[in-house]
C-alpha cells in the first residue's frame, strides 16, 4: 500500500514552484508513494499546470491561509487555523495521510505539531535530530534547536528517541550514544550534564558510550550525539559553515601560490567530494521526534532535490513506524 505524505506546497523560500518540482521528483523515484499538496488550491493548481503529472499519485488539499517565513510562530498558529501547516497536520491527525512535511516556518511547524498531534505518552520535550558528517559516515545530533534549555531527564529522552530513529531509518543495529560534554571522564561538565550521564549510564542495556568532546564529533565517537538545542544548533550551523568558509580559505591560498588551471581543477573536484556530505540537500529534512505522528521539517531554502528527499524521509519514517518504536522504547 502506498504511503500517503502531505506536503506544505507553500512552505519555503522558493514555494510553490520548487516544492511541486520536488514532489514530482519524489513520485518519479518511488512506486509506493502518494503525495498530497496542501495550500491555496488555485495557487497550487496554477503551478501544477506547468508540469506533466499524468499517472502520478498526486492530489491537492485546499488550505487558503499561508504562514510566512518571518511570522511569529505563536501568533501564526493561533491566528491562521486554515493555514497549510494546520490543514496538513490535521489531515495526518485524522488518518487521511501517514505523514506531513514542510520547509516553511520551522517554529510554526513545531508549535502546530505539538498543538495538533500532541506528544507521545511519556514524552516531556519533543526534539529535532540533525545530521553531522564524520570520517565514517554521519552522526545524528539531538537536539539541534527545539529546546534551548533542557533538564537531565530531557537529555535522556533525546538519547532514547535519537537511538530509535538511527536504528530504524539508517539500519544501525545497536546504534551507540554519546553525551556531548567538556571532557570525556565521568563527573565532567555542568550539573545537568553530570546528572544526565548518571541517568544514561544506569539505563539497562542501553548502548551509552559515555561523554565525548567537540573534537570527537567528526571522528564518529558515537552514532548519536546528545546535547541541548542551544549547543546542538551551534554545532550544526558550524558544520554548515564549512561549505562556505573553506572555499574562501582554499581560494585565497590558491591565489597566493599561483596554481595552474589543472591543479585548481583537481583541488575543486577533491574538495567538492569531501564537502558533499555537509550539504543539507543530502538529508532533506528531519522529523520532530516525540510528537504523536510524523512531522518532518525541511530547510527553508530547500531545492527541488531537497524537497524530494524530505518527502522520501517522511515516507520512510511512516514505513518504519518510528513513532511506535519511540513510544515502545520510552514505555520500557
> Is the domain of 173 the same as that of 260?
yes
Residue-level pLDDT at 269: 86
| N-terminal to C-terminal alpha carbon distance within the chain | 30
Which of 315, 323, 321 lies closest to 4 in space, CA to CA?
315
Which stretch of 28-37, 72-81, 200-209 has the lowest confidence by average pLDDT? 72-81
> Is the domain of 101 the same as that of 136?
no
CA distance 102 to 314: 10
Which CATH number does the domain housing residue 310 bear? 3.40.718.10
> Is the domain of 278 the same as that of 196?
yes
CA dihedral 22, 73, 150, 145 (to 10 degrees): 30
> Is the domain of 221 the same as that of 250?
yes
Residue-level pLDDT at 95: 96
Cis peptide before 143 (omega within 30 of 0): yes
Decide if 298 is inside a domain: yes
Decide if 328 is inside a domain: no
User: 280-289: per-residue pLDDT in tens?
Assistant: 666 678 999 9
> What DSSP assignment string belongs to 163-226?
HHHHHHHH--TT--EEEE-S-SSTT-S-HHHHHHHHHHHTSTT--EEEEE-GGGGGGTS-SEEE
> Is the domain of 134 the same as that of 73?
no
pLDDT band at residue 260 under the 50/70/90 scheme: confident
CA distance 59 to 87: 14
> Is the domain of 218 the same as that of 167?
yes
User: 216-252: per-residue pLDDT in tens?
Assistant: 999 999 999 999 999 999 998 888 888 788 888 988 9
> Is the domain of 137 the same as that of 276?
yes
In the chain, the percentage of residues whose pLDDT exceeds 90 is: 70
> Is the domain of 176 the same as that of 100?
no
> Is the domain of 66 the same as that of 136?
no
**Mean pLDDT score, 86-112:** 95
Cis peptide before 16 (omega within 30 of 0): yes
Grid cell at residue 96 = 487521511
User: 123-156: per-residue pLDDT in tens?
Assistant: 999 999 999 989 888 899 999 999 999 999 999 9
pLDDT band at residue 264 under the 50/70/90 scheme: confident
Decide if 158 is inside a domain: yes
Print burial letters for 127-139: b (CB count within 10 Å at least 16), e (below 16).
Answer: bbbbbbbbeeebb
> Is the domain of 7 the same as that of 72?
yes
Grid cell at residue 231 = 549547543
Residue 276 scores a pLDDT above 80: no
Task: Look up the domain containing 231 and give its range.
Answer: 124-283
> Is the domain of 73 the same as that of 168?
no
C-alpha radius of gyration, the chain, whole number: 21
> Is the domain of 25 the same as that of 155?
no
Hunting for cell 514555494 — which residue is that? Answer: 15
**Mean pLDDT score, 43-67:** 94
CA distance 299 to 303: 9
Which of 237, 213, 238, 242 lies closest to 225 in space, CA to CA?
213
Residue-level pLDDT at 261: 87
The pairing of strands 177-180 and 285-287 is unpaired
**Mean pLDDT score, 250-277:** 84
Collect all residues with Cβ–Cβ distance below 8 Å to 33 and sequence separation of at least 6: 2, 3, 5, 26, 27, 57, 311, 312, 315
Decide if 331 is inside a domain: no
Decide if 327 is inside a domain: no
Which of 326, 320, 304, 313 lies closest to 101 in space, CA to CA?
313
Q: How many domains does the chain have?
A: 2
Residue 318 scores a pLDDT above 70: yes
Amino acid at each position: 500500500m502506498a504511503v500517503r505524505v502531505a506536503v506544505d506546497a507553500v512552505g519555503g523560500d522558493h514555494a510553490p514552484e520548487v516544492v511541486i518540482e520536488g514532489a514530482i521528483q519524489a513520485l518519479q523515484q518511488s512506486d509506493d508513494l502518494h503525495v498530497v499538496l496542501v495550500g491555496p488550491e488555485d495557487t497550487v493548481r496554477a503551478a501544477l499546470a506547468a508540469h506533466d503529472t499524468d499517472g502520478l499519485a498526486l492530489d491537492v488539499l485546499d488550505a487558503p491561509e499561508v504562514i510566512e517565513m518571518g511570522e511569529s510562530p505563536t501568533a501564526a498558529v493561533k491566528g491562521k487555523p486554515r493555514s497549510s501547516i494546520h490543514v496538513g497536520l490535521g489531515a495526518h491527525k485524522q488518518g487521511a495521510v501517514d505523514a506531513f512535511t514542510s520547509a516553511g516556518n520551522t517554529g510554526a511547524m513545531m508549535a502546530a505539531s505539538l498543538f495538533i498531534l500532541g506528544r507521545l505518552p511519556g514524552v516531556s520535550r519533543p526534539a529535532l535530530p540533525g545530521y553531522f558528517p564524520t570520517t565514517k559516515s554521519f552522526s545524528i545530533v539531538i537536539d539541534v534547536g527545539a529546546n534551548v534549555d533542557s533538564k537531565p531527564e530531557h537529555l535522556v529522552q533525546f538519547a532514547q528517541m535519537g537511538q530509535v530513529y538511527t536504528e530504524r531509518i539508517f539500519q544501525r543495529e545497536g546504534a551507540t550514544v554519546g553525551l556531548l560534554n567538556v571532557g570525556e571522564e565521568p563527573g565532567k561538565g555542568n550539573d545537568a550534564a553530570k546528572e544526565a550521564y548518571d541517568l544514561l549510564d544506569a539505563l539497562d542495556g542501553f548502548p551509552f558510550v559515555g561523554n565525548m568532546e567537540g573534537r570527537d564529533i567528526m571522528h564518529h565517537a558515537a552514532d548519536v550525539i546528545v546535547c541541548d538545542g542551544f549547543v546542538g544548533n551551534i554545532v550544526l550551523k558550524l558544520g554548515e559553515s564549512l561549505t562556505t568558509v573553506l572555499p574562501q580559505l582554499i581560494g585565497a591560498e590558491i591565489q597566493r601560490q599561483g596554481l595552474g588551471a589543472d591543479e585548481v581543477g583537481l583541488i575543486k573536484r577533491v574538495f567538492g567530494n569531501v564537502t558533499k556530505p555537509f550539504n543539507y540537500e543530502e538529508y532533506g529534512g528531519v522529523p520532530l521526534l516525540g510528537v504523536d505522528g510524523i512531522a518532518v521539517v525541511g530547510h527553508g531554502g530547500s531545492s527541488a532535490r531537497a524537497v524530494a528527499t524530505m518527502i522520501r524521509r517522511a515516507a520512510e519514517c511512516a514505513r518504519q513506524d518510528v513513532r511506535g518504536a519511540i513510544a515502545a522504547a520510552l514505555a520500557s
